[in-house]
Structure 1
């Protein structure tokens, strides 16, 4: 293969995006991308049949202009066809009543856990359920996508067990023309993705969820929408002797696949002042205010909030939890005894010395594109 061809292939891999990749980069659905294209706010440089290709620079420019421009209405994030009933039978009726509004169904996504749906960018913030500045999110359990990228979101049909919800998904997928052999995965896995090519062949991707929760002692995990981004926060159990924040970060790595910023707040007051606090629910004995002192930010804008044990009189390098979290996030943490320049010296400083400022460790953002 000639050098020129190799250079061309390298340029394509680094600079050309499909609709799905653009949706992932912007944190929206494919249908939202199609709507943006129709308004000509983002124009594909090439469109062939059902395939649109975009230049990475155009997408980044759109993203930056969107940040500096007026905010998009939250309501516009939801597709037109969104069944919110939560009932399997009502969801099937909704599908049948609105099936004619979609073309040929070529993609289907089924989720058991709402967080998995949100990670795949199938979510919309809900103005009806708030905790301070935090909005709950609405997610579908079954998503159907036609050849034009139009979507139908269904709430009452899911996957991952042998009950009514997965049987509802089976009914819908059968009526969409997917083969029964592939549909059977609906009863075995918590995440099922079906992709039909132009020849009618179906590619199946299945997984079990990282977000089904651990034991009672490990606490609970919640997801909210805040400042235009998703925030996943772990609330340790008040009955547990350990905070299990390392297990939480390991389990939820798919939520922050490319961490670029790690913030440590020496005191609860500092974290609260910066807004890293989830208000309690009025009148609830089990919902108290939660303050988070470790914030991990991903290049996608998502944030994971944790509250491990932090000793302000001890250097970061000497604190096992903080070291493990940094290493898990891909930061090159030197050994405590090593002398490797300013980073080693900096991390060997007692956290108290940074007060009143937080400890912030950043690395250059990288855009990861799936080819």
Structure 2
């Protein structure tokens, strides 16, 4: 009887033990579960920890989109124009009874860029774009092509001023190139290879760059890596406020991303004369000079104050010229001219040639171990 009861209890207890064992296996696995192919699969990775700012209750950070130059371009582009400068000659037309008249024939054509500077229709571009052209036209941003008249030209600054008779123009603001810093972002707009309204961007790579060009002039260029190509000449180089800081002029053909622009402050200095007279009256001092470095100073036996090396030293003066009448002598070291320190000798020709004709200019020189101030009255360059 007792044996029968135990067998009965065993039959009842066995399913419960089997269920408990199965439950234990599910709760405490002995190894990774097998995949469909019978091989063990890797366990799931633990959930990632929340970021520190999220844990502190801060809102999630939002990634801002990159800024766009589109608003700046929309502001500047209507003021940028294409320049078509042609040299035309009269070609005779012959008929059965001899010469019957003439027709114009284009013998050379130049494409460039320019930009509007006032509501009266004055346009700035490079003088090398115009060259000797006798037929000039300007293509506006809206596609209209209008004739242009040459107002004036200054080849030493590679500058030309045109005039167009159009109403409703949008001029560009001329900025201050003296405040340009290496690393500033700039935008160039022009007509490279006839591709009008091409926009490129970059930074100012250098300032005060001295570059030798085909046109001998003044060396004080802004260097930029904004892409400049044939046809960009005369176009504006603008800052991120849309102000013109330079006029794109040339490139280093042997390299890439090496372009140069004439600083706008140089342009502003001669622009009033070009608008009023069509030319620039350059002043003349009547002296010859050279750069003073430490080696030259020792050779000449000059003692200059600390920090005054790499200045301008007078080599000779023209008899009865403005410099001679003002008291300048050979071996004088020019420290400042018209109150402007001559810290870069390459700028001295520009400073001297743009001094007011017929007005006294204060010249500070270093002579015999001390500074002296002289008064020189520049005259116009002799014919």
TM-score of the pair, normalised by structure 2: 0.25
The answer to which structure has the higher helix fraction is 1
TM-score normalised by the chain length of structure 1 = 0.25
- Structure with higher strand content: 2
